Amino acid sequence: MPEAARHSSEPGTRLPVPVLVLLAWIVPGFGHLLLGRRLRAAVFFAVISVGFVIGLALDGELILPHAGDPLSFLAAIAGVGNGLLFFVARALNLGQGTVTAPGYEFGNTFLLTAGMMNLLLLLDTYDIAVGKKDW
């Protein structure tokens, strides 16, 4: 990894880029906050958290990988993409998913889109940190 990519080129952020990206994954928007993008951090946090909570409220499932079901691996990646929200919900026994619930499929959609949006934020955090994106 080149020197510029190892540490953030952003002034005021001395964190190594991998740590920054890891923190961005754990809490949605946290990477942007550490890079001084406060408004975007707040918007990203709100959008992802609201989507996640709606997904849980609709009886969606935080899908875990099942042997013999390749798509469940992709869904699990998207679910884990929610970071800390995923682990807290699992610890509280939430997101078990009720297949017969009327909102089950919608709940899954909200949970998966929230996770994938957070994964996209990791890439954005990386781009800002290494100076590929200047805003």
Partner 1 sequence: MLLDHLLLMALDALLIAVFFSFLWKRDRHERWRYFWKVFGALLLGAVALGWLMYPFPRG
Residues near partner 1 (CB under 8 A): 39-40, 43-44, 47-48, 50-51, 54, 57-58, 102-103, 106, 109-110, 113-114, 117, 120-121, 124, 135
Chain CA centroid to CA 30, Å: 10
Nearer to partner 1, 7 or 40 (CB): 40
What is the nearest approach in angstroms of partner 1 to the Cβ of residue 87? Answer: 22
Nearer to partner 1, 4 or 43 (CB): 43
What is the nearest approach in angstroms of partner 1 to the Cβ of residue 54? Answer: 7
121 closest CA partner among 82, 80, 65, 72:
82
Tell me if 10 sits within 8 A of 36, measured CB to CB. Answer: yes
Nearer to partner 1, 9 or 104 (CB): 104
Nearer to partner 1, 110 or 126 (CB): 110
45, 47, 48, 50 alpha-carbon torsion, rounded to 10°: 110
Rounded to whole angstroms, the Cα distance separating 105 from 5 reads: 40
